[in-house]
Amino acid sequence: MRIALGSDHAGFDLKERLKATLSEAGLEPVDLGTYSQESADYPDFGHAVSEAVSGGQCELGVLVCGSGIGMSMAANRHTGVRAALAWNEEVGALARRHNDANVLVLPARFLDEGEALGILNKFLEASFEGGRHQRRVSKIDLERTGGEEPQ
């Protein structure tokens, strides 16, 4: 499985650790930057990861910034991307099971490495349950509903 990774400077160290963990697990991380702790603009990396996921080059994405909020905003601008900001394992798993999230966003300044790795593992282990959740997920993209808000 190919997983796109991106971070700004605040998430760089954690992204590097996540990348190593994914490789060790036999997955294929695709690092789309940033490549240092030098100040960087989070939307650049949020868009790069989201394009890789929405374009089908990667099955999933992981984004890391200080709070996770900016990355979530940037990522969710892309059709077909459902980026979820997770701060604990349960939220990470529910994002996949109930919301069919395909991009995990982690707040580097609010998690230690162990917490982040636990969230990533739960996110990857979970799968979309469909059923009643599918109806709700189908209402997310306005393009699918003709550009109008769903009733």
Residuewise pLDDT in 10s, the chain (151 residues) = 999 999 999 999 999 999 999 999 999 999 999 999 999 999 999 999 999 999 999 999 999 999 999 999 999 999 999 999 999 999 999 999 999 999 999 999 999 999 999 999 999 999 998 888 998 898 887 665 455 544 4
Question: Tokens 């069919």, residue?
Answer: 100
**The domain that contains 37 carries what CATH number?**
3.40.1400.10
Q: Which of 9, 47, 58, 65 is catalytic?
A: 65
Is 151 inside any structural domain? no
pTM of the full structure: 0.92
* Residue 90, in any domain of the structure: yes
How far is CA 107 from each of CA 57, 69, 110, 112, rounded to the nearest angstrom? 25, 8, 6, 10
Query: Which one from 9, 47, 78, 98 is the annotated catalytic residue?
Result: 98
58 catalytic, yes or no?
no
Number of domains the chain is built from: 1
- Domain membership of residue 60 as a residue range: 2-145
Confirm whether 14 is domain-assigned: yes
